[in-house]
Structure 1
Amino acid sequence: MTAIDRFRYDGKRALVVGGATGMGAAAAKTAAELGAEVVAMDYAPVRYDVAHAINVDLRDPASINSAIDQIGGPVHAVFSAAGVADGPDLMRINFIGHRHLIKRLLDNNLLSSGSAICLISSVAGMGWENDLPRLLEFLATPDYAAAQDWVSAHEADGIIHYGFSKKAINAYVATQAYPLLKKGIRINAICPGPTDTPLAQANADLWLTFAQDYRDETGSKVHTPEQMGDAMAFLNSAAAFGISGITMLVDYGHTMSSLTGAYPPGKPIIDLIMGRAPLP
């Protein structure tokens, strides 16, 4: 296999969950350009060419099960991209549904050795290590219903929000790297900086203004969905064969520059990482 071949997806089926718009659509299009047969799942209609479009409602495990039954063969790369900013279904859409879908793929032997999974986290999920005991308690829930029951039991505590859903993704990736690699499967996530997606546009005052001072100083712009789709395609490719269990920052270096003091005004994100600031 040549170096170029390791980046390509020829002969592979890519499943993109949340593929109708935003980063999911960008990942789907990148994977297709690299040779993949793309299966796109979403609650919204998929309005571009894919090999197969499947309706799925991550709020409903029966819908997820039905969608898995329609895939029609093995999956070599999973792009878990669906998400919402808030609302009563936040945890089901942002994490519980994705975990259930991955478990169903595994139970149905649709993910073979050599396959890979990439989820989308967020800067809002950084500092998850500071909340590890509670996250491990949540991740220990054995199924969809138990996870939702745990969420319902903790809603009054004020911990169930967008940031917690992304912390759960980070902790899930970290804890699943070992058991999945024993099956030959890799799992990672990306942690995007502010990215111009429909979801971000709906929360523009908060999401698209974050780190604007850093972008002004460095001459960079708000990220595009394509930048995130490309990063996900890399992590799910054979070129990233040695990478598993990580959440990869795609933020122009804002976080690391702030953490090291190379960019002193970056204190707000450090407070976020250290758990000294509330998450959106």
Structure 2
Amino acid sequence: MNTCYNPFSLDGKTILITGASSGIGQATAIESSKLGANLIITGRNESRLNETLSQLKPGNHVAISSDLCNADDLKELTTQLPSLDGVVLCAGINETIPVQFCSPKKFQKIFETNFFSTVELVRLIIKTKKVNNGGSVVAISSAGGNFAINFGNGIYGSAKSALSTWCKFLAQELALKKIRVNAICPGMVKTPLIESGAISAEQLEQDMIKYPLKRFGEPSEIAWACIYFLSDASKWVTGTDFLIDGGYDLR
């Protein structure tokens, strides 16, 4: 019996993770390093990015501070990338905005980070052939907009819904190169996005009760799903929206 068998191993794989300075991106970097991945992590906040780097298990890891909404930063990041076996797209922002305040400026701000910059990064790395045949692209979308409609979440949900749809088209086009593309749609996860103060502690408690499992998700629980899609265990999976929401959609 081979006790070392692990279809979820990332040993020897080189993986780019955006939004790695906090939340799901940080957890995905840490957990991936435990399974043998060599990581390129990127984020806007250099000090927090280096904090993530310090928590990684030993490997050939690189931290590159970059603002994906800045065209020059995006091109510079692309030129620095080695050949990749995986990409995890975690960069994102959120803001609770009632419909009457959803101005074009607000749409542009949220779509720029949650959709346009992500799409442009993938376009550049595909165009420059940075992703190896047989590689995997994983996008962190959201249950909001795809499976759950909540007050004030219109712009964020629309951007994430657009991201999920785009992933399906990308999956179809990249299938010829054996590159898989999947989206993960988390429900509420305990990250800095929900600790910004826009939603009160009381409101969060009320929302938590709506989940059959009576709690929000942990970043590591989304990271483990990312690892599944990055690993050879999911070699026959592409074009999916993988819902992880503690049963919220059962309501």
TM-score, with normalisation over the residues of structure 1? 0.74
Q: Equivalent residue of 2:63, what SS?
A: strand
Is 1:214 the equivalent of 2:210? yes
Count of equivalent residues: 224
Q: Which residue is 1:253 aligned to?
A: 247
Which consecutive unaligned segments of at least 5 residues does structure 2 have? Answer: 96-105
CA distance in 2, matches of 1:6, 1:238: 6
1:16 aligns with 2:17: yes
| 1:84 pairs with one of 93, 96, 99 | 93
Q: Which moved more, 1:62-71 or 1:85-94?
A: 85-94
1:48 matched to which residue of 2?
52
Consecutive aligned runs of 4 or more in structure 1 exceeding 4 Å deviation:
none
- The structure carrying a bigger helix percent of its residues is 1
Residue 65 of structure 1 pairs with residue 69 of structure 2: no
Contact 1:59 1:89 survives alignment (8 Å): no
Describe the shift of the 1:94–1:252 C-alpha distance in structure 2 as closer, same or farther (beyond 3 A).
same
Aligned partner of residue 244 in structure 1, secondary structure: coil
CA distance in 1, matches of 2:204, 2:64: 31
Look up the match of 1:185: 179
Tell me, in whole angstroms, the C-alpha distance in 1 between the residues paired with 2:39 and 2:210.
36
> Does the 8 Å CA contact 2:213/2:247 hold for their aligned counterparts?
no
Q: Structure 2: which amino acid aligns with 1:62? A: D
Provide the C-alpha distance between the structure 2 equivalents of 1:190 and 1:221, rounded to a whole number of angstroms: 19
Distance 2:41 2:206 in 1: 30
User: CA deviation digits over 1:93-142, x for unaligned, max 9?
Assistant: 101111111111111111111100111111222169xxxxxxxxxxxxxx
Deviation at 1:205, TM superposition (A): 3.6
Match of residue 131, structure 2, among 111, 125, 136: 111
Shifted more, 87-96 versus 60-69: the winner is 87-96
Q: Distance in 1 between matches of 2:218 and 2:241?
A: 19
- Output the aligned Cα RMSD: 2.4
SS of residue matched to 1:109: coil
CA contact (8 A) 2:87 2:136 kept: yes
Which of 68, 78, 95 does residue 115 from structure 2 map onto? 95
Contact 2:208 2:214 in 1 (8 A): no
Could you tell me whether the CA contact under 8 Å between 1:77 and 1:115 is conserved in 2? yes
Whole-angstrom distance in 2 between the partners of 1:250 and 1:240: 16
Residue identity opposite 1:85 in structure 2 = N
Cα offset for 1:187? 0.5
Cα distance in 2, alignment partners of residues 249 and 48 from structure 1: 26
**Distance (whole Å) between structure 2 residues aligned to residue 77 and residue 179 of structure 1:** 17
Conserved? CA contact 1:43–1:57, under 8 Å: yes
Deviations 1:12-50 (A, max 9, x none): 111000000000000011110010001101111211325
Secondary structure in structure 2 of the residue aligned to 1:231: helix
Alpha-carbon deviations, 1:54-91, whole Å to 9, x = none? 111121222111011112x1111101001011445211
Shift of 1:252: 1.8
